[in-house]
Amino acid sequence: MEFPGGKRFAFTILDDTDLATVENVAPVYAVLARCGMRTTKSVWTLAPREAPRIDGATLAEPAYRDFVLRLRDQGFEIASHGATSHSAPRAMTEEALGRFRDLVGCDPKVHCNHSMNRDNIYWGAARFGTRRWRLLYRLATVLKDRRYEGHVPDSPYFWGDLCRRHVRYVRNFAFWEINLLNVCPRFPYRVASMPYVNAWFPSTQAADADAFCEAIAAERQQRLEAEGGVCILYTHLGAGFVRNGQPDPRFCRLIEQMASRDGWFAPVGEVLDYLGARGGGAEIPPADLAALERRWILGKSTHRTPRRTTNEPARGHAR
């Protein structure tokens, strides 16, 4: 695959806003900006109206909002992580989308579901388009799987029509594979049985600072470049990347190494637009979807979870 400017590969980051505050992520973004990387930061738009399961700032907080808007002005992409840090009924989601537009100046091109929110769209067993994998997942999680109803029209948490109208891309499966073309040769992709999502995309899993540094270790960077691959690294930059106000030196060193390579470093939405114009964006064949879902199920035990920096159970971050 060819990349803009004749670059040999594409690398970007999708930052899940869980745990994020100005104090624990601003030093990380300063490193990314200094290295010429423009990545994607998800946000919660509205302040929580009940006790959240996971801590983190929202755009309702002036200092955090100003920080996020400065990132936008520097070329970082702002994405949606849902209305807020707990389950949001439709009216709250609609309010959040309008507020996001007012503040950021556009709709969120990219969305990622949050933990166990009931408004998550096509989550839990519903994230599978292949019947046998959907049934297997439901059986395997029968005692702990929750109801996710963002795509269920008669639910008070339904917002599928709003997602289709305002959001271009939604994240689904994550893999311990730096080159996503090895798990899904053509993405973004559509799934016929999931009409409320315009296009899906996979990601590379690296939930916290330790996993992130392992995910982009030098030898893995070399392979990504040699294979001419694409990496959308999904992480929580609020999970251990900053200590005593300073960014993790391992993170700094590895990002500097990545930035020195012949890569294209653009936000997630821009990368997906580019891939979509070059063969992605089509409906994924059923056999390819089944293979993708099978690979995720078989590899799920290798997924990492962030260290417990709050009272939130680590399982809340399982992707």
User: What confidence tens digit (pLDDT) does each residue in 28-70 have?
Assistant: 999 999 999 999 999 999 999 999 889 999 999 999 999 999 9
Q: What is the largest CA-CA distance in the chain?
A: 51
The structure's pTM equals 0.94
Give the 3-state DSSP-derived string for the chain, with helices as H, strands as E and coil as C.
CCCHHHCCEEEEEEECCCCCCHHHHHHHHHHHHHCCCCCEEEECCCCCCCCCCCCCCCCCCHHHHHHHHHHHHCCCEEEECCCCCCCCCHHHHHHHHHHHHHHHCCCCCEECCCCCCCCCCCCHHHHCCCHHHHHHHHHHCCCCCCCCCCCCCCCCCCCHHHHHHHCCEEEEEEECCCCHHHCCCCCCEECCCCCCCCCEEEEEECCCHHHHHHHCCHHHHHHHHHHCCEEEEEECCCCCCEECCEECHHHHHHHHHHHCCCEECCCHHHHHHHHHCCCCCCECCHHHHHHHHHHHHHHHHHCCCCCCCCCCCHHHHCC
d(CA 17, CA 85) in angstroms, rounded, equals 9
281 contacts 210 by C-beta, under 8 angstroms: no
pLDDT at position 211: 97
Q: What tokens were used for 165? A: 């109208």
231 contacts 201 by C-beta, under 8 angstroms: no
Q: What tokens were used for 194? A: 């999931």
d(CA 89, CA 26) in angstroms, rounded, equals 31
Phi, psi of 56 (to 5 degrees): 150, 150
CB-count exposure of residue 262 (10 Å: 0-12, 13-18, 19+): exposed
Name the superfamily (CATH) of residues 4-89+100-114+166-299: Glycoside hydrolase/deacetylase (3.20.20.370)
First and final C-alpha spacing in the chain: 28
pLDDT exceeding 90 applies to what percent of the chain?
Answer: 87
pLDDT at position 115: 87
Give the pLDDT band (50/70/90) at residue 311.
very low
Q: How does pLDDT run across 204-236, given as a tens digit for each residue?
A: 999 999 999 999 999 999 999 999 999 999 999
41 contacts 250 by C-beta, under 8 angstroms: no
Rounded to an integer, the average pLDDT of 235-244 is 97
pLDDT at 299 over 60: yes
List C-alpha distances in Å: 90 to 81, 114, 120, 157.
15, 15, 11, 5
Q: Which of 120, 116, 78 is nearest to 99 (CA)?
A: 78
